Amino acid sequence: MTGAAVLAGGLLIAPVAFSVVEMVGYRRGHFGRTFWESPLDAKLDHVGQHSHAWWLMILPWFPILAVTTAGLAGLSFLLADVTGWAAFGVFMLAAEAWLIVLSLQNGTTTVAALRRAQTGDTPDWAVAVWQAGFVLERVWIVLANVAAVGYGVAVLRTDVLPGWLGWSAIVVGLAIPILVLLTRDGFPELALPVPLVLGIALLAT
C-alpha cells in the first residue's frame, strides 16, 4: 500500500516539473492575455514569429496528461471504490478532449501560421479548428473537475485519505467549473489543482 501510494502520489505531482518547461515557452513567446484575446490573424502571425516557444509551451502537456492519468489510475486502485473508478472514467473523457486540442488545434496552428506567412491569408479551416479548440478546452476543465468531485466523494467513502481532503476536492471541483462557465474564461491548468493536492496527500500518508 505504501509503495503504491508513493508511486501514485509521485505521478500526480510530476506535472509540476513539466509545467516549468511549459511556463518557459509561455514567457519566451509572450503568450499572455493579449495574445489569447487577439484576432486569429494576429495569433497566427505571432506563432509564426515564435514557433519554437509555441512548441515549448505545448509539448509538455503530453507528459503532463500521461502522468496525471497514470497517477489517477493508481489513486483509483488505492481507493478501491466504484466512485473513484467512475471519476477516473470521467477524467479519461476530459483527457480525450484535451488531447484533441493539443494534437489538432495546436498542431494545425503551426501549419496555418506558415500558410499565412506565405500567402497573407488565414485558412478557413483554421477558424473552425480554433473555435472547436476553445469549446474543447472548456470541456477539459469542466470534466476534469467533475472527476475531482467524484474523487472527493470516493475519499469520503474510504479511509485511505483524510475526510477533509474529500470535502476540499468536492468544493474546488465544483467551484472551478462554475467560475469558468460564468466568466467564459480559464486556462488548462485549472484541471490539475485537485490531482496535485491528492498526490501530495498520498506522499504524506
Cβ atoms of residues 200 and 16 within 8 Å: no
pLDDT, tens only, 132-164: 988 999 999 999 999 999 999 999 999 999 999
- 88 burial type by CB count under 10 A (0-12 exposed, 13-18 middle, 19+ buried): buried
Range in 67-81, 91-105, 177-191 with the lowest mean pLDDT: 177-191
Q: Which three cell numbers stand for residue 165?
A: 481532503
Q: Which DSSP letter does residue 188 get?
A: G
Measured distance CA(12)–CA(78) in Å, rounded: 14
Determine the structural domain holding residue 17 and report its residue range: 2-204
Residue 1 confidence (pLDDT) above 60: no
Could you tell me which of 77, 89, 60 has the C-alpha nearest to residue 7?
77
**SS3 at position 187:** coil
Total structural domains within the chain: 1
Range in 4-18, 23-37, 176-190 with the lowest mean pLDDT: 176-190
pLDDT, tens only, 36-78: 989 999 999 999 999 999 999 999 999 999 999 999 999 999 9
Could you tell me which of 7, 26, 21 has the C-alpha nearest to residue 62?
21
